[in-house]
Structure 1
Amino acid sequence: MTHLDKANYLDNEKFIFCLEAVHDIEIATTTEVVKNLEQLAIEYGISSIYKTCDTIEGLEESLNALRYDDHNFKDYEIIYLVMEGEGNNICLNDYYYSLDEIAELFEGKLTGKILHFANTKILDLSEEEAQYFIDVTGARAVSGYGTAYNRLTSINLDKTFFSLCQDEDNVIEIVEELHQKQYALCKLLDFRLYY
């Protein structure tokens, strides 16, 4: 690869920003998520930034730092959230926050991004809830799973989804291709995408 090819390759590269909820950010541990992100880089060449948070303020701080301090923010197509919760909320240290509250925190700040939830939380939104979140934040889509983590992590399907997002901009085509490649997993985990 010549220097010029490498520069073009880097120009076309899109990143993933992963934020994992942990019980205490002071305790450093290498979670399964970190290992899977490393594999994503090796297998698909997809780079990511990984951070942990244990409060809603930590979540807000991390996303704001990414927006304002990282000049590559426009290249982060996917914000990958690994946290517990159900339906229309997330749980951070035993406190529940609705996606409406999250939307208000990030009003207009997620333009063009896909917010993707791992199956550590069930994502179940009404059409109105999904539309509100997208309208307020500017996100391109919200995706996740209708089936909760039950010894079957969504990471293999997440990796396929992320790789398809690298090559395709149309979310409908991404979902169709994901179902073609991983139909059984899509059905088993109940993959959902709101746009």
Structure 2
Amino acid sequence: MTRCPWLPPDLELYRKYHDTEWGVPSRDRRYLFEMICLEGAQAGLSWWTVLQKREHYRKVFHNFEVERVARMTDRKLEKLVADPGIIRHRGKIFGVRQNARSWLALEQREGDAVEWLWSFVGGAPIVNRRKKMEDYPVKTIESEALSKALKKEGFNFFGPTIAYAFMQAVGMVDDHSVDCFKSHR
């Protein structure tokens, strides 16, 4: 079975992520918030590093339930800085709570954060036809716009490259290679 060229062939967890999740359009509020936070945790690291720690992230951040994360105390977050089950970067850890608070403020103003996010791709996935690794951009006009808007809303660790990875992950962009069995050829 042929898969996208970026996928390491020997990592089962990565393969499962690709085959069942990556690029599948999602409008699930909790999942989108989770992916904003996890993609932010990836900044400067590999997705593989985050993927291996994902289950523990879910445990310590209340399965990314926005309201519960927004209420996390400084004391609780400080304890997480020493937790080897997640990436021990103080700014990124406190950034998860900031992202939750920013999400809630966005909903207060816009009504629906999910539809607001999807508006950056016109409400439907952008389907690309990538073939080789060189065909995959690190950012796009849409990811630059999303990054700028989320930063303005107070979200952390969400530059244009992270924004593009997020858009690919949650299916706002379908970047499965044309040879991949998941491709919409």
Instruction: Report 1 or 2 for greater relative contact order, CA contacts < 8 Å, sequence distance ≥ 6.
Output: 2
Greater strand proportion? 1
Bigger proportion of residues as helix: 2
TM-score using structure 2 length: 0.30
**Structure 1-normalised TM-score?**
0.29
